[in-house]
Amino acid sequence: MPDNHKQYLEWNGDRFRRWAAKIGPNAGTVVEGILTGCKVEQQGYKGCMALLKLADIYTPERLESACSKALDYTPRPGYKTIQTILRTGQDRITSESPAACTDEADFAFTRGADYYKGAK
What are 16-72's pLDDT values in tens digits? 999 999 999 999 999 999 999 989 988 999 999 999 999 999 999 999 999 999 999
- Residue 58 is assigned to a structural domain of this protein: yes
Over residues 63-88, the mean pLDDT reads 94
First vs last C-alpha separation in the chain:
89
- Residue 108 is assigned to a structural domain of this protein: no
- Residue 77 is assigned to a structural domain of this protein: yes
- Residue 1 is assigned to a structural domain of this protein: no
Domain count of the chain?
1
Over residues 64-89, the mean pLDDT reads 93
pTM: 0.71
For residue 14, the enclosing domain spans: 8-93
- Residue 116 is assigned to a structural domain of this protein: no
- Residue 45 is assigned to a structural domain of this protein: yes
Cα separation, 5 vs 12, in Å, equals 14
- Residue 24 is assigned to a structural domain of this protein: yes
